[in-house]
Chains A and B, each alone.
Chain A
Amino acid sequence: MPRALVTGNQAAGAMLAAAGEANRVARGCCSGVYPITPQTEIMESLTAYPFTKGAVVPVESEHSAMGVCIGASIAGARAFTASASNGLLYMTENVFAAGYYRLPIVLVAANRTIGPPWNIWVDQGDSLALRDAAMLQFYCESHQDLVDTILVAFRVAEDPRVLLPALVAQDGFVLSHALMDVDLPEQGQVDAFLPPLELPHRLRRDHPRIYGGLTWPRDTQRQREDIEHAMQAVPQVMHEANDEFETVFGRRPAGAFPAACTDDAELVLVACNTMARTALHVVEARRARGERVGLVRARLFRPFLREELTRAIGSARRVAVLDRNHSPGSGGIFWSEVVASLAGRSDVLVQDYIVGLGGTDVPHAVIDAIVDDLAARECAAAPVFFHEVT
């Protein structure tokens, strides 16, 4: 497998293109694209890619970008796009539609703060605002994680037991524009890993059906319940996809909640994306000093596997959730999921730390201070806005 020095956007663009190209033996691929900082390089690379059987349509908005993906996917092609920030919000109506049509469209997000006021730097409030769509959500810590996750996302999304769109998030600029050394799969390997897409409910001229017609209340409730069942199938399907990935590529992608140093940890940090990498350095430094500190990285956010999270946290009695997002009037979005997961565990103190909004830097010192703050707490308080340590 060739090693390559690439940016996050280049890695993501290359993997979307490779996945699309892999479907040349079936109904091809098609993507609607629209630029927005910091994902623009992804859509640019897609428009330049010489697909054997594919079309990339530069449209007039994110709403239409997802609209084109919907039309292409329902016609049986592999479909994908990328967006960020207000672009994701503008796309939202059609993201929900893609989920309810059960279309396995892969959407790469380069996380960026929602405006106004305008801010191009990272926080995860944009993709998390789509949390109630019928869509899988993955969060990536590195370029290699991004490469592997995009391929796994196609495989899981297109599995007949799932058939839902999937979002793969990377931090804007911090990852999207940083150069890292990765194993970049070759087309032959991607072909081997991603079988030709056979959407069971695609439009068929010999079997006319309507998708997105009128539905009565009871059927709508059943349809939503079916989606919940599809979400419940994700852990098993993802496990199988990771097995297959290991066979083809010789390495294993991460699971839902990759953990470090949690076995005997008294205090565990929960974080996602690149912040989890910084947190890992803090944890390793403290371990070297003999402190029983661990890290759980939230990689899979939808479905949110509560039991897996509880297992990953293990016997720790203190949990600090680092939220680079803010749901006004509630707190951090990961925190609310963690609290719900540990609802039966009154012995665990869970504290929410809202950090890094609008791209505010989250250096080691901030995470160190959070560990100290949590260690000194008697009981949990309202979500804390944690600022830079001066």
Chain B
Amino acid sequence: MAEDPTPGADAVVTRGEPLWRPGNNACAGCGMSLGLQWLDQALHGGMLTLVVPACCAVATPGAFPDSAYGVPAVGSTFASSPAVATGVSRVHQLNDEPDPTICWAGDGGTYDIGMATLSAAAERNEDVIYVCYDNEIYGNTGGQRSSATPAGARTTTTPAGKPEPKKDVMAIMAAHGVPYAATLSLAHHDDFMRKLAVAQTTRGFRFLLLLSPCPAGWKSEPADTVELSRLAVACGVFPLYEVFNGRRYRINARADGTRLEDYLVRQRRFAGAFDVEAARVAIKEKWARLEALAANFPTTDVSVSSETGHRWLRVLVEDRPSVLARVAGQVSRRGVNIETVVVRHLPDRSHTYITLGVDADEPTAERVAKGIARLDAVVDVESFVGEYPEQAAEARPDPTSRRP
């Protein structure tokens, strides 16, 4: 039996293997599979423990003795991933092991059978990152309705279309007051990476909802997976937003006028007597609620939290890979939570401004700033209290993901 490298509080174990190796049997165009590869990128090769309930993510890595996972993983019982992750995470803490414990669960394990377990782990604020890859269907059993299935979608158990709307799991998780909750799209790479950086540098329970197109269940073309993700955001079906501590909502991308039909027409699950007008009304109502929740962020938030020591760090860095992670690492190693990250490239892409909202008092923020200043890619660091910087960029779809 090989020995562990000495685990110190700051030891970051890197791995030679990708998180999600070739040879897995995920379907062509599987959003979950692409999501795992993006998760790998977001972790920059750092070690983690995966807890995966009985779902596609445990059926597709292959059968004993093979596994496509390049990291330690537990295939838990269906409803148990947050409970099992609790045990793993607590023992990691007892042994000063900094690797994150990440649940990777489908909508069945999240919205339905695992809801009580998820709610309890969130309420206890366990130090776990929970990612729900939401394909809006029980995909692994061949496409039955889940409470994440949108109204009107045909599944094997709603052959005439599902009468009820999709459950708003983000609202449920926000109501728990978890430190961080965010939605993720497979067409918004920068936004995905930024949110994973926030998640990794925040302690406590973090909930991430990834829209995960499922060609088998959505009756869509495998090649359309990224395009469907882009359209879902662009037409307003799947808002990209994040919620800090259950209170502060921030919208990352708004609908751009793309027609809902462009999203629907690529999926045969919406064929037939689908009520487009009703769907449009539902989307409008959803956005009205979301805009109201986000209306006071960030200005109200900053004026409130500046009294409690909320600060900003503006960092000018050379524009190259993994700098953001190293900057964020300097913050987290001092036990400081990052509440906001905004990344803006200079027009010539030579340098980037990283603006971090941190939950720290002045001496701590100064120590963090000094640590950041020592990184070789960092040109300048500025620490200040005040209004939220105006240059907050809205997330844009990765232009390379657009179909010609």
Residues of A within 8 A of B (CB): 27-28, 30, 32, 53-55, 57, 59-61, 63-65, 67-77, 79, 93-94, 97, 200, 203-216, 219
Q: How far is the CA of A54 from the CA of B82 in the complex (A)?
A: 19
- Which residues of chain B are within 8 angstroms of A72 by Cβ–Cβ distance? 87-88, 90-91
| 6 A-B contacts (beta carbon < 8 Å) | A61-B117, A63-B80, A68-B86, A71-B91, A203-B88, A208-B72
Of A55, A65, A205, A214, chain B has the most CB atoms within 10 Å of the CB of A205
- Which residues of chain A are within 8 angstroms of B252 by Cβ–Cβ distance? none
Q: How far is the CA of A72 from the CA of B90 in the complex (A)?
A: 7
Q: 8 nearest interchain CB pairs?
A: A71-B87, A67-B83, A212-B75, A72-B87, A60-B120, A64-B83, A75-B91, A71-B84
* Cβ-defined contact, B87 with A79, below 8 A: yes
A-contacting 9-mer, from B61-69, B259-267, B346-354: B61-69
* Cβ-defined contact, A208 with B64, below 8 A: no
B370 in the interface, Cβ–Cβ < 8 Å? no
Q: How far is the CA of A269 from the CA of B124 in the complex (A)?
A: 50
* Cβ-defined contact, A27 with B95, below 8 A: yes
Mark contacts of B98-134 with chain A using CB atoms, 8 A cut-off: 1 yes-contact digit, 0 otherwise. Answer: 0100000000000000001101100010000000000
Q: State which of B5, B65, B94, B99 has its C-beta within 8 Å of the C-beta of A55.
A: B94
Given contacts A64-B117, A71-B91, contact A32 B83 (CB under 8 A): yes
Q: How far is the CA of A343 from the CA of B252 in the complex (A)?
A: 72
* Cβ-defined contact, B88 with A28, below 8 A: no
Mark contacts of B47-67 with chain A using CB atoms, 8 A cut-off: 1 yes-contact digit, 0 otherwise. Answer: 101010000001101111101
Q: How far is the CA of A219 from the CA of B64 in the complex (A)?
A: 8
Residues of B within 8 A of A (CB): 1-5, 13, 15, 17, 47, 49, 51, 58-59, 61-65, 67, 69-77, 79-80, 82-95, 97, 99, 116-117, 119-120, 124
- Which residues of chain A are within 8 angstroms of B63 by Cβ–Cβ distance? 213-216, 219
Q: How far is the CA of A59 from the CA of B87 in the complex (A)?
A: 11
* Cβ-defined contact, B58 with A55, below 8 A: no
Given contacts A74-B88, A206-B13, A208-B17, contact A97 B58 (CB under 8 A): no
* Cβ-defined contact, A209 with B72, below 8 A: yes
**Shortest distance between the CB of B36 and any CB in chain A (Å):** 13
**Shortest distance between the CB of A8 and any CB in chain B (Å):** 27
**Shortest distance between the CB of B354 and any CB in chain A (Å):** 29
- Which residues of chain B are within 8 angstroms of A55 by Cβ–Cβ distance? 90-91, 93-94
Given contacts A68-B86, A200-B1, 10 further A-B contacts (CB under 8 A): A61-B116, A67-B77, A69-B87, A70-B84, A72-B87, A77-B94, A79-B87, A209-B67, A212-B75, A212-B76
* Cβ-defined contact, B77 with A93, below 8 A: yes
Given contacts A32-B86, A71-B51, A75-B92, contact A205 B80 (CB under 8 A): no
Q: State which of B67, B72, B87, B91 has its C-beta within 8 Å of the C-beta of A204.
A: B72
- Which residues of chain B are within 8 angstroms of A63 by Cβ–Cβ distance? 79-80, 83, 117
* Cβ-defined contact, B69 with A28, below 8 A: no
* Cβ-defined contact, B61 with A213, below 8 A: yes
* Cβ-defined contact, A97 with B76, below 8 A: yes
Q: How far is the CA of A69 from the CA of B80 in the complex (A)?
A: 11
Q: How far is the CA of A240 from the CA of B62 in the complex (A)?
A: 40
Q: How far is the CA of A266 from the CA of B119 in the complex (A)?
A: 60
Q: State which of A77, A209, A211, A212 has its C-beta within 8 Å of the C-beta of B91.
A: A77
Q: Which residue from chain B places its CB closest to the CB of A76 in the assembled complex?
A: B91
Given contacts A30-B94, A210-B61, A212-B58, contact A59 B17 (CB under 8 A): no
* Cβ-defined contact, A213 with B88, below 8 A: no
Q: State which of A97, A204, A213 has its C-beta within 8 Å of the C-beta of B2.
A: A204
Given contacts A204-B4, A207-B2, A213-B75, contact A60 B86 (CB under 8 A): no
Q: How far is the CA of A53 from the CA of B75 in the complex (A)?
A: 26
Q: How far is the CA of A131 from the CA of B49 in the complex (A)?
A: 32
**Shortest distance between the CB of B218 and any CB in chain A (Å):** 24
* Cβ-defined contact, A67 with B117, below 8 A: yes
- Which residues of chain A are within 8 angstroms of B94 by Cβ–Cβ distance? 27-28, 30, 53-55, 77
* Cβ-defined contact, A214 with B61, below 8 A: yes
**Shortest distance between the CB of B13 and any CB in chain A (Å):** 5
Given contacts A68-B83, A205-B47, contact A30 B91 (CB under 8 A): yes
Q: How far is the CA of A68 from the CA of B85 in the complex (A)?
A: 7
* Cβ-defined contact, B124 with A57, below 8 A: yes
**Shortest distance between the CB of B178 and any CB in chain A (Å):** 16
* Cβ-defined contact, A213 with B58, below 8 A: yes
Q: How far is the CA of A200 from the CA of B84 in the complex (A)?
A: 19
Q: How far is the CA of A143 from the CA of B242 in the complex (A)?
A: 54
Q: Which residue from chain B places its CB closest to the CB of A71 in the assembled complex?
A: B87
Q: How far is the CA of A224 from the CA of B378 in the complex (A)?
A: 57
Q: How far is the CA of A74 from the CA of B50 in the complex (A)?
A: 12
Q: State which of A32, A60, A76, A77 has its C-beta within 8 Å of the C-beta of B119.
A: A60
Q: Which residue from chain B places its CB closest to the CB of A26 in the assembled complex?
A: B95
* Cβ-defined contact, A214 with B58, below 8 A: yes
Q: Which residue from chain A places its CB closest to the CB of B117 in the assembled complex?
A: A64
* Cβ-defined contact, A59 with B13, below 8 A: no
Given contacts A64-B117, A67-B117, contact A59 B83 (CB under 8 A): yes
Q: How far is the CA of A268 from the CA of B3 in the complex (A)?
A: 54
- Which residues of chain B are within 8 angstroms of A94 by Cβ–Cβ distance? 77, 80
Given contacts A97-B76, A205-B4, A214-B64, contact A71 B95 (CB under 8 A): no
- Which residues of chain B are within 8 angstroms of A214 by Cβ–Cβ distance? 58-59, 61-64, 75
* Cβ-defined contact, A210 with B51, below 8 A: no
* Cβ-defined contact, B88 with A71, below 8 A: yes
* Cβ-defined contact, B67 with A210, below 8 A: yes
- Which residues of chain A are within 8 angstroms of B119 by Cβ–Cβ distance? 60
- Which residues of chain B are within 8 angstroms of A209 by Cβ–Cβ distance? 67, 72-73
